[in-house]
Amino acid sequence: MIENLSVEFLPALTSPDELAGATVVVIDVLRATTVITRALALGAREVIPCLEVEEARQIAARFPAGQALLGGEREGLKIPGFDLGNSPSEFTPENCAGRTFVFTTTNGTRAMNACHRAARVLLGAFVNLSAVVAALPAEGPVHLLCSGTRGKITREDVLLAGAIVDRLSPAAAVDESALNDQARIALAAWREIAARDDGAGVSPKTLAAELRHSQGGRNLKALRLEQDIDDAAQIDLYGCVGELDVVGWRINKR
C-alpha cells in the first residue's frame, strides 16, 4: 500500500529534500505533460527538458541535422526560431517518429527541475491518466507535483491530481489517512465534477468545459488556442507514460 500520497499544488510548496527518494508525478495539463506524452506516443525517441531557451538551442545544435527538433513556448506562444510550439496538434507521427525533442516551457520544465533527487519521475496528463496510475509503485511515498502557472495554483493541474487520487482510493492502493490536505482538496474538486456526469465517469466534453474556466484554459482562450484545451481533455487517449531519467536528464517512454 502507498504509505504517503501527497499533492503539491506548486513546486514552491515543496522542496527537493521533501521529494528525495519518492516517486513524483509531474503535472502540467495545459500543456507540457500533455504534449510530451503525445510526442512519445507518436514515436519520439526522447524528450530533453530545458529551463532556458538558449540552453535548448545549444543542446539541439549538438545533434545531426534533422535528428532533434526544438519545441516549447514563452507567454504561451511558439518561441521564435523553434520548430514547434506547445500545442498537441503540432506533434504528428511524421515529425515525431525517431526524433529527439528539446523542449522548454514556462512552467512544466521548471517543475521537473525540482525533482533531481526523486527516485522516479513520471509525467502525468489526462491523456494518459490510467497509464500513470498503473505505473505507480505499490508502496512508498508518492508526490503529485502540479506545475501551476507563473507561481499561481491552476485548477486544471489540481483536477488531474484529484483524478489520480480518486483512481487509487477505490483500489485500496492508498488509505485516506495517507493523504495530505492538498490531496484531499484535489480529490473533492475532482469528485464534484464527476458527480455531474451521473457516476458514468467524467466525459471529455465535461472536462473540457471545466478546463476552459481554469487559469490555464483562460490563458489559452485569450491566445485563440482553444483546440489545445479539447486535446488535453481526452482522457486515456494514450497508454504510455514518460519517465524522466534524473541522471541523464532525458524523458523516455515506459
The verdict on residue 136 lying in a domain is yes
- Tell me the DSSP string of the chain: -BSEEEEESSGGGS-HHHHTTSEEEEE-TTTHHHHHHHHHHTT-SEEEE-SSHHHHHHHHHTSPTTTEEEEEEETTEEPTT-SB-S-GGG--HHHHTT-EEEEE-SSHHHHHGGGTT-SEEEEE-GGGHHHHHHHS-SSSEEEEEE--BTTB--HHHHHHHHHHHHHHTTTTSB-GGGB-HHHHHHHHHHHHHHGGGTTS---HHHHHHHHHTSHHHHHHHHTT-HHHHHHHT-TT-----EEEETTTTEEEE-
- The torsion defined by the Cα of 239, 192, 179 and 131, in degrees rounded to 10, comes to 0
Residue at 74 is within a domain: yes
Q: Which domain holds residue 161?
A: 4-246
**Residue 14 within a domain:** yes
- Give me the pLDDT at residue 200, please: 60
Low-confidence ranges of the chain (pLDDT < 50): none
- Burial class (CB within 10 angstroms; exposed 0-12, middle 13-18, buried 19+) of 98: exposed
Distance CA 201, CA 11 (A): 29
d(CA 202, CA 237): 14
| Predicted pLDDT of residue 172 | 53
Grid cell digits, residue 122:
513520471
Nearest CA among 190, 173, 212, 28 for reference residue 109: 28
**How far apart are alpha carbons 94 and 111 in whole angstroms?**
29
Q: What is the pLDDT of residue 198?
A: 63
First CA to last CA distance, the chain: 22
What pLDDT score does 176 carry?
Answer: 78
CATH number at residue 73: 3.90.1560.10
Residue 252 lies in a domain: no
Q: Is residue 21 part of a domain?
A: yes
Set of cell numbers at residue 166 = 480518486
Q: Name the domain count of the chain.
A: 1
User: Looking at the domain assignment, is residue 13 inside a domain?
Assistant: yes
Look at residue 197 and tell me if it is in a domain: yes
Give strand pairing partners of 142.
Answer: 5, 23
Does 253 fall in a domain? no
Alpha-carbon distance of 74 to 80, in angstroms, equals 9
Supply the pLDDT for residue 138: 84
